[in-house]
């Protein structure tokens, strides 16, 4: 199978997925218009996106984010209250930088946790309108006492210092 065949299969799958999202949104708005939720309120929001990068094997890697999930057991989508935010992880020699898009919350709404083994970063944010949750398995253990975090214009940046350095191996001299 060529890469073009794979791409065509990939695009057909995404087209079906987006058609299902559109159908679900229309159904929710019809239901909301016919009978608004108690106490007023508004229909739930749909937040979905994806990022395509090239993997180390030369094949595309798709990372999804948002609050829309594909259910594998049925041909339906599921909308959840917690948003899985777009996240980038950049590993440097002695530190790891985690950048998370979380618009609509204030700095005081955000809670960060590092696991006891220093290998998992958990991000929770709760505001009146938005809920974010993300658990990130870090490539190496980090020191929670040296963590630094900033939040500006809807972007959370976390800088973590590694406790263990990745070994680079031995240099081979070229004759």
Tokens for 135?
């658990």
Domain ranges of the chain: 3-83, 85-162
What's the pLDDT at 172? 77
> Residue 111 has what DSSP assignment?
E
CA contacts within 13 A on the Cβ side of 116: 0
Number of residues in the chain: 175
Low-confidence ranges of the chain (pLDDT < 70): 1, 28-29, 31-44, 71-76, 165-169
Q: In the prediction, which pLDDT does 81 show?
A: 81
What's the pTM?
Answer: 0.68
What integer pLDDT is reported at residue 150 of this predicted model?
95
Distance of CA 44 to the CA centre of its chain: 19
Give the pLDDT of residue 74. Answer: 59
- CATH number for the domain running over 85-162: 2.60.40.790
pLDDT of residue 159: 96
Q: What is the pLDDT of residue 96?
A: 94
């Amino acid at each position: 199978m060529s890469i073009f065949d794979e791409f065509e299969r990939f695009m057909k799958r995404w087209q079906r997925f987006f058609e299902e999202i559109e159908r679900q949104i229309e159904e929710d708005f019809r239901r909301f218009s016919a009978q608004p939720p108690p106490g007023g309120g508004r229909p739930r929001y749909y937040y979905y996106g994806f990022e395509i990068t090239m993997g180390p094997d030369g094949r595309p890697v798709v990372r999804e984010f948002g609050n829309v999930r594909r259910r594998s057991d049925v041909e339906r989508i599921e909308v959840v209250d917690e948003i899985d935010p777009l996240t980038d992880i950049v590993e440097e020699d002695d530190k790891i930088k985690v950048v998370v898009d979380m618009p609509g919350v204030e700095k005081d709404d955000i809670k960060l946790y590092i696991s006891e083994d220093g290998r998992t970063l958990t991000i929770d944010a709760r505001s009146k309108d938005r809920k974010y949750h993300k658990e990130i398995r870090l490539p190496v253990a980090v020191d929670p006492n040296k963590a630094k975090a900033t939040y500006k214009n809807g972007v959370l940046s976390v800088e973590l210092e590694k406790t263990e350095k990745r070994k680079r191996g031995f240099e081979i001299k070229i004759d």
